[in-house]
Structure 1
């Protein structure tokens, strides 16, 4: 399915169904990251999350070593990355100002349902004392019935973390301001723990990006990572009414609440899921 950033992934079909299989790609580590160690770390996280009741134990199928490093197999999720799931909504932009009628009531409910189930998945992690720490459009799949399913727990941060790879951020565009600030203020080998509030910011950033087609913080494509993190740490975001494809007050209010610059001002994932359910 993919071959990038030092790892490969396949869909493997067998008599008992399908699994997603990932393994490190030897000799191709990215930005100094040990992908074999990340695969092993994700396996540990899946076991611990299942024990904490935050993840279905059946999700993890198996793991082990191979000649070039580590492999991990998880249950196949029949779904589409959120970016692609939001494509019809982005395509309904009626003009450059985003002031058209936009989508149908059914499409609006679909987007709210994706946001609700995404927040619900994060709420289960947070209730167990964990943060996903890599909330982004490619790490969540939308099933045919419109439910969001979290995947890729390699970078997750949990209670009582023992020896682990230092967390040094994930996708820059969905990094919360407080995490961006900590990354800039600490050495490259320091572990920066991530909490639930950062996941909520990542959720809002992902929804903003997938719906509008614009990243929530403005910076040049060619800017270095440090410059991008600095812009995020400053706490400002692009005004949603300036880039939205069409007006959607209920959705916009949720996204804006998630992107509050101060962690304590953001709603919890559980509160978001409840709000969206109503």
Structure 2
């Protein structure tokens, strides 16, 4: 059976949230995401289902809910439905890093070091709590909250106990941001181990593409995931043409050796000193 979506919030979510109007904001890769109004404020309801290429996407909402319950005291809801799981969490406002830096890609502005620092601080904060994100990409940093960037989409994160009913192996992330060791692991065995070092590499790749519009490694737009990963494993990253301190920092973050990359905290220190 081919699952396409979008799928409406299941009855279990509706009974718990008693929502008002709902707006579909995303439907791709096995997830329908709705913004719903509730008495407690707006919530994001994620409805997971098997995608054309992955069955684990059906379990992702419940897995993310299990992670969030260990990281926040907010009201997080989750449950099962006919084709997978669903979860609800408070809605996060803001623009993605990629959208916020659109003027940089047009040559109309320079990357904002304060915004880069805010993204690095969000990731470093997660690392400080003993977790790795595993799916760092520009769309997962939201800029606009009063306290700085907010890091979303934690379904692939590792660091605590996850119920067996919603757990699944780590099979890499969006390949455009994978570190070479992650791509190599997936090519070799189908799975990999997410790490803080790989998160930092992905942050470097996210900053680079947001500022320039270029992926960190060159491969054709229509390349298969396997070919993309081979390119990341075997080819050097593109020259980092971002000026100033940020360019030098991104170059270090994209080091092939995990040991040569700065930590998230060191990224924050460098950006703080440069502001």
TM-score clears 0.5: yes
Q: What SS does structure 2 have at the residue aligned with 1:131?
A: coil
Distance, in Å, in 1 between the alignment partners of 2:162 and 2:147 is 33
Comparing 64-73 and 131-140, the one that deviates more: 64-73
**1:263 — aligned with what?**
258
* Structure 2 residue aligned with 1:45: 67
1:161 to partner: Cα distance: 6.2
Task: Tell me what 1:200 maps to.
Answer: 200
Cα deviation for residue 270 of structure 1 reads: 0.9
CA contact (8 A) 2:67 2:160 kept: no
Q: Secondary structure at the match of 1:202?
A: helix
Query: Deviations for 1:35-70, whole angstroms, at most 9, x for unmatched residues?
Result: 22111211111123x2xxxxx322x53222334432
Choose the corresponding residue for 1:23, options 24, 39, 47: 47
**Separation of aligned partners in 1, 2:248 and 2:73:** 35
Q: d(CA) in 2 for partners of 1:267 and 1:43?
A: 30
**In 2, Cα distance between equivalents of 1:9 and 1:168:** 22
Aligned residues: 247
- Residue of structure 1 in register with 2:157 after alignment: 156
Residue of structure 1 equivalent to 2:12? none
Aligned mates of 1:205, 1:146 — CA distance in 2: 24
Match of 2:103 among 71, 81, 88: 88
CA contact (8 A) 1:182 1:192 kept: yes
Quote the Cα distance in structure 2 between the aligned partners of 1:138 and 1:66: 27
Indicate conservation of the 8 Å contact 2:119/2:149, yes or no.
yes
Instruction: Report the counterpart of residue 35 of structure 1 in structure 2.
Output: 57
Q: Distance in 2 between matches of 1:92 and 1:131?
A: 33
Structure 2 residue 78 is the aligned partner of structure 1 residue 63: yes
Q: 1:220 to 1:146 in 2, by over 3 A?
A: farther
SS where residue 70 of structure 1 aligns?
strand
Q: CA deviation at 1:135?
A: 0.2
Match of 1:79 in 2: 94
> 1:177·1:235 contact (CA, 8 Å) conserved in 2?
no
2:183 to 180, 184, 193: 180
Matches of 1:249 and 1:92 in 2, distance apart?
A: 15
Coordinate RMSD, CA, aligned: 2.0
| Mean Cα deviation higher: 202-211 or 7-16 | 7-16
Which residue in 2 is equivalent to 1:273? 268
1:204-219 to 2 correspondence within 5 Å? Answer: 204-219=204-219
2:66–2:162: 8 Å Cα contact kept in structure 1? no
In the alignment, the residues of structure 2 paired with residue 30 and residue 114 of structure 1 have an alpha-carbon distance, to the nearest angstrom, of 35
